[in-house]
Structures are given as C-alpha cells and as structure tokens.
Amino acid sequence: MSTPSEPAESESTYVIDAENAAEMARLMNQALFLTKRMGGLFPERSDLANIHDVLDIACGPGGWVLDVARSYPSVQVIGIDISQIMVAYARALAATDQLTNARFRLMNALNSLDFPDHSFDLVNARLVAPFMPSAAWPALMQECQRILRPGGVIRLTEAEAAITNSPAFEKIIELGTGALKLAGQSFSPDGRHIGITPILGRFLRDAGYTHIQRVAYAIDSSAGTEANKEFCQDYMVAFKLVQPFLIKMGVMTQGEIDRLYQQIMTGMQLHDFCSILFLLTVWGEKPR
C-alpha cells in the first residue's frame, strides 16, 4: 500500500504522464505565463500580512512556489506533487537559487495530506482539475481545512478550455472535454465544458469556508497579441501529451489525432486566429 509520500504511478489520474520531461518543461513555461497574465502571485491581495506558511498543491516543477519564496523571503512555502521528476527538478532549482524557504515533497493530493492540523496560513491550488476525479474534491477541501490555521485562506484557480475560432482546435477541445466526462473528471452535464469554474465556490461553501470571494481573468491569446506565442506553444505540447489519454478513453484513434493535430497547427498560425482563455480564482477563510 502506498503512503502519502510514496505515490504509486498507477494511482495517477492526471490526463498527461506526470513523469514526462516535456510535460515538466511545459509546466515551467505555463506557470510563468499564468502568473504574468494573472498579474502576479497573489493578484487579489495587497500584501501577505499574517501569512507565514504556504502550501501549494500539485506544484509541478515548482514555478509558483519558487517565485513566492523569492518574492517573500520571510514566508515558508512548501510544494507537493505526485511526480518524482517535478519534485526533483523543483528541489534542484531551489538549491541553485539558495531558496532555503522553499521545500518540495512527493505527495498524492488524493490521499490524506501528510501535514499536522493547523500547519498553514494559506493553501494554494492552481489547475488541479486535470487530475481530480469529481468525487474527490470535497475530501480535498476538508483536508485543506484541517491543515489550515483558523482564519487561514484556501485559494483555488481553475480554467475552462480556451475558446477559439479554429474548427480543428474546437474539435479537439470537444473530444477532450468529452473524454474528461467519461473519466469522471468533469462537472459538465453533457461534457461540453470542463465545468469546474462554476463549482469552485460551492466546494468552499460546502466545506464551511467563509468570506468567499472570486476574481475572473480573460487572457486574449489571439494572433497579434503578446500572449499568443506562449499560448500556442503550451497548447501544441499539451495536445501532443494528452493523446494517450484521448485514445485510452476511446474518443479518437491515433490516425484521427494525427490529422487533427496538423489542422490545429495550421489554424493557430493564421493571422485571424482568435482565442480567449477564462480562469477563475476563488478563495475563502477557515472560520476562526
């Protein structure tokens, strides 16, 4: 049986192989992209007064954690992730930058979290939906509540799939959200969306958090925008790495994906390609 610090690979419900080096590189770039386009590490807060201990759930190769550690030297920040290569690389980056206030641990967020009660002032989770079975959210919200101090803050950021004017892009999104539905990782009644953003507030209310607030982001990644190149690179890599999941869920064959992939590449390079990415951050407090 696996312990919280020794996740077995077979347990992974992530839609991409978390031990893939290309995914690790993609997540480094994606973290930079998101933090920049959302306007910072904690764009909804003016300062980190009273925040001393921070946990980042599913930290990937540690982009957000390392930035927090660099920007707030008095804050202790821990990132957890199921992937051995992500955690190993994040530790190496922290050591290289001599960030003694950043630590990383191998942990499966679907099990009970290996931290004592009242350990953290803030728990952050950004883009965890790609591995969260729908039914697992309430338990994670309760675990976060247990490890937060009274008055501590939980902060969730999730995205829906980008909306574009490219038929091929829209097709793979339709197949991807349908596959998520089949995998039990969707809140959309018909699989047309990921459906996570409307539900985030309910998770916090149901778990007993108070002072729940939200802020939405719309990232325009159309041709000619500043965000376009990074957005296209991210999706081109993600669409490659997610193919085994689409095939496993039976929504496409490899031949169909290969043809669609070529059409997506062409479509994204058109001068009139338009795309918008919606994200939502929802946060709330553990009652004092």
Binding residues (CB under 6 A) for ligand SAM: these are 12, 14, 18, 27, 30-31, 58-60, 63-64, 81-83, 86, 108-110, 126-127, 130-131
CB of 41 to ligand SAM, least distance (A): 10
CB of 15 to ligand SAM, least distance (A): 9
Q: What is the residue-wise DSSP string for 90-112?
A: HHHHHHHTT-TTEEEEE--TTS-
CB of 231 to ligand SAM, least distance (A): 15
CA dihedral 269, 270, 272, 273 (to 10 degrees): -40
DSSP type of residue 128? -
Question: How many Å apart are CA 128 and CA 8, to the nearest integer?
Answer: 18
Which CB atom, from 6 or from 190, has the smaller least distance to ligand SAM? Answer: 6
Neighbours of 287 (CB within 10 A): 11
CB of 56 to ligand SAM, least distance (A): 7
Which CB atom, from 17 or from 256, has the smaller least distance to ligand SAM? Answer: 17
CB of 67 to ligand SAM, least distance (A): 10
Q: How many residues does the chain have?
A: 288
Question: How many Å apart are CA 154 and CA 256, to the nearest integer?
Answer: 41
Strands (E), the chain: 53-57, 76-81, 102-106, 120-126, 148-159, 163-164, 210-220, 275-285
Which CB atom, from 53 or from 143, has the smaller least distance to ligand SAM? Answer: 143
Tokens of 148: 């937060």
CB 241 within 8 A of CB 23: yes
Which CB atom, from 108 or from 186, has the smaller least distance to ligand SAM? Answer: 108
Which CB atom, from 82 or from 194, has the smaller least distance to ligand SAM? Answer: 82
Tokens of 6: 């020794």
Which CB atom, from 53 or from 273, has the smaller least distance to ligand SAM? Answer: 53
